[in-house]
Every structure is written in structure tokens, then in C-alpha cells.
Amino acid sequence: MARKYFGTDGIRGRVGQHPMTVDFVMKLGWAAGKVLSQSGHGQVVIGKDTRISGYMFESALEAGLAAAGLDVLLLGPMPTPAIAYVTQAQRAVAGIVISASHNPYHDDGVKFFNGDGFKLPDSTEEAIEAMLDEPLEMVEPENIGKASRMEDAKGRYIEFCKSSIAFQTSLRGMKLVVDCANGATYHIAPAVFRELGAEVIEVGTNPNGMNINQGVGALYPESMRAEVLENQADLGIAFDGDGDRVMMMDARGDVKNGDQLLYIIARSKLMSGQLNGGVVGTLMTNLGFEHALQAQQIPFRRVAVGDRYVMAQLVENGWFLGGESSGHIICLDKTTTGDGIIAALQVLEWLVKQQQTLTEACSDMEIYPQTMINLPITQSLELDESPSIQDAIKSAETELGDTGRVLLRASGTEPLIRVMVEGQNAPQVEKIAAELAQAVKRATAG
């Protein structure tokens, strides 16, 4: 079934434009409530990031869910993974996150977790979309849902994060710069690291509703770098607006991305005998990561870009560790979804145990040079059905051999063909990428 509203990570758009309007979001709350309440009366957890539009959409969802007969538990601003945790802990029928993740403040979105803290299956999202086409009919007055607020959600989640590492692990003596992107981790992450003993220098912890992800956070490491260098900190840790992504930085200001952090975690689990199976990455995961895992004899699988696909592969294989270069890291042995704070703690625990720096911990993983060329197209192009493009790809793969890889794919959001080449030799990578781009241009011109 083709879906009209749900993408790979819920529903998202510009505030005030369909579907991110008050009337649609209220109807979405009602439709979700009707689908979710088919198993009986229950409670839905709602949390949000720090966007100014969150107040409006929180009220709209509350009204829709109550009209469908479901109770609502409001958490206020909380990281996305915290909402998954509370949903599971409260035995709620579902959790709802109001967030557009790393997007600017004028965007917002709605995403769902089931009662187990995992993202909704496709079948449930499709049922909600079908219900959106039905007329909104309220339950009888005596069955209208009630709303309450969880006052201690922050403290509960801080303790949960701390429990993800060994009790004896202390960060005492560490100086950390923690950048919260003026987002949902602003009142959570600094407290977690301080309570574990670290000295914390805060960046991006003064949200005003419109400065989320604005020049700070995981997408903009410059603010973190300035503080790390000025304060001679041991590490920098940066989250995105809703707290499910993390990037880290060493004392010299060098950023370590999701691939490098995932490698540290995977190797730490292997060395401590706790790695169950292998690791899942995406089509964009650096080839150097794959080769480093091979050297450690750790199995590896690639899936399409998106944490939904990473999660599906982990569940299918019975593995627990996967992630993306963007810093979205899933540790299923600790929690049910990508969690920036918990991922950072797994890295820090290993650094403390081994008495290593961040750079030392990932020194045996090489990030291969990568070139990406985005080519605008004016007409649909089926890459698999173009003999000239397929010939160019085969020629490139032959030239690279085992030292590199090629990926051509159509953008899912823009009229672009993305040409990506990576390998051990930077000049060779750039040359092959240019040749492939020319092959695509010729195919579109013809």
C-alpha cells in the first residue's frame, strides 16, 4: 500500500503547511487513537523536542487521542529515545514524539513507538492512514480520555542512561564539552555526565523555541570544537535536536562520526565477549569500517539508508548493534531505539576501561576518502536499465577492486542522482566519480 503521509521516520513537514497543521495533527491523534485502542482502553505517552510548534501540536494530539478514548501522559521536552523508554516502562499502548530531529525549527513532525518501545510496524501506520480518511467521531462523554503529566520523567531517564554502563564506571577526572543543539537533551545529557563524575562544559543548552540545531549540535561541530580547544577538554559530545544522534570529538578537535563510534562499541563488545553476532550498517557506511570489522572477524551487513532498515536487519539476524555514519547508533542490548546519550556512554565506558583517548580507540579503523556528486535530473532515470551507466559502473568497480566501492542512487526527496565513490586512493576516487558523473549526464542527455 502506497503511503500518503508516513515516511521512513514518521510524518514531517514545514509547520503550517499540510500535513503539519493543527487540524491534521488533531485528526492524526484521533486516527492513531482509534487504531491503537482497538485492543481496549489505554494510555499514550507524548513527548517533544524544544521547537515552539511543539506546544501547539502537543495540544492537538492530546485532543485527538482523548476524543478517541485514550488517556494521555505528557512528558514535555524529552529526547526521542526517552519517550520510547517511558512508553515501555509505563506499559503504555504507544508513544508519540513531536520532533523534526535535525531539521530547523520551522519544520516539525510526529513519529510513533509501539508499547514495546519500537517503531510502529508498516501495517499499523497503514491502518492509521486509512482511518484518517474516515469522519472524526468522538467516543461517548463518559469514555473521553484524560491527560496527566509525568513530573519525574527527567530523573527516571537520567537513571536509565546511567544504568547502561557498569556501576563502577566513573568519569571522574574527565573534562567534557556537551553540545545539546538547543534541543531535547538540554536538561538531560549534562546531568547524566555530571552525575557520573565528569566536569561538563555546556553548549546549546538554552533553547528558545527557534534556535534548535541552529549552528550547534551534531550537524555543526564548530561550536563544540571552539569550546574543546579553549577549555583543553578531553572530549566533545554533540547531539542532534531530538537526541537520537551523536558525534564525538577528541582533544585536538577532530570529529569522530557514527562509523568510528560504532566501531569502538563493536570492538569493545568483542573484546569483552559480549558481541552477539555482527553489526548492521547502511549503503553509506564507510568501506573502511567494513574492512576494519573484517580484520576483527566481525560479520557485517549493509541495508538501505534509514534506522528503520537497520533495525529490521538486526531483528532478523538476532543481532543488537547497528548504526549510520550520521551518528544514529542502535544498541539493542541496552534500549529499543537509537540513543545518542547511551551510545556516547558505551564509548566512554570503553575509554575509561582501556585508559585510551578517543583517537586511540579507533586508530585501527581507516576512514577511506569519499567523493559524492549530486546531479540534477529533469526526467526520470532508471539506473538499472541504462546499459551505458551499468557499463561505467562495472568499469569503475573493476578499477577499484577490493580497495573501493561505487554507489549510484536516486534521491528519495529531490530530483537528483547521487554518485558516490570511495576507496583508499583519493585521486583515483575523484577521477572515477567524475567519470561516472559524465556517464550519467550522457545518459540523461540522450
64 and 169 fall within a common domain:
no
In a domain, 4, yes or no: no
| pLDDT value of residue 446 | 63
Residue 307 backbone phi and psi in degrees, to 5: -65, -25
pLDDT level of residue 8 (50, 70, 90 thresholds): confident
Position 2 in a domain: no
Q: Active site includes 101? A: yes
| 356 assigned to some structural domain | yes
> What residues contact 48, with CB distance under 8 A and at least 6 apart?
54, 57, 58, 75, 76, 77, 78, 97, 98, 99, 184
Task: Indicate whether 124 and 182 sit together in one domain.
Answer: no
* Residue 1 resides in a domain: no
In this structure, the answer to whether residues 228 and 247 fall within a common structural domain is: yes
- Same structural domain for residues 302 and 207? yes
> How far, rounded to the nearest angstrom, does the alpha carbon of residue 321 sit from its chain's CA centroid?
14
Is 56 among the domain residues?
A: yes
pLDDT tens by residue, 60-104:
999 999 999 999 999 999 999 999 999 999 999 999 999 999 999
Domain count, the chain: 3
Same domain, 72 and 133: yes
pLDDT at residue 377, rounded to an integer? 84
Select from 151, 177, 195 the last residue of a domain: 151
* Domain closes at, from 151, 186, 204: 151
Residue 379: predicted pLDDT:
75
Q: What's the CATH number where 103 sits? A: 3.40.120.10
Count CB atoms within 10 A of the CB of residue 138. Answer: 12
pTM score, whole prediction = 0.94
Encode pLDDT of 418-434 as tens digits: 999 999 999 999 999 99
Domain shared by 282 and 393, yes or no: no
CATH number for position 405: 3.30.310.50
Alpha helices in 220-339 (DSSP H): 222-230, 258-271, 287-295, 307-317
DSSP state of 142: G
Whether the predicted pLDDT of 445 surpasses 90: no
Tell me, what's the pLDDT at 413? 64
Domain check: are 205 and 85 in the same one?
no
- Are 183 and 125 part of one and the same domain? no
The residues that bridge with 47 in the sheet, in sequence order, are: 76, 97
Residues 103 and 214 in one domain: no
Q: Domain boundary residue among 151, 169, 201? A: 151
Cell numbers found for residue 211: 534556535
pLDDT at 381: 79
pLDDT score of 365 more than 80: yes
**Res 1 pLDDT > 60:** no
Q: Are both 163 and 43 inside the same structural domain?
A: no
- Residue 107 and residue 81 in one domain: yes
328 lies in some domain: yes
pLDDT digits (tens, 9 = 90+) for 138-164: 999 999 999 999 999 999 999 999 999
Domain enclosing residue 54, as ranges:
11-151
Residue 410 sits in the same domain as residue 268? no
The one catalytic residue in 99, 101, 164, 223 is: 101
Query: Do the domain assignments include residue 3?
Result: no
SS (H, E, C) 34-59: HHHHHHCCCEEEEEECCCCHHHHHHH
**pLDDT for residue 412 is more than 90:** no
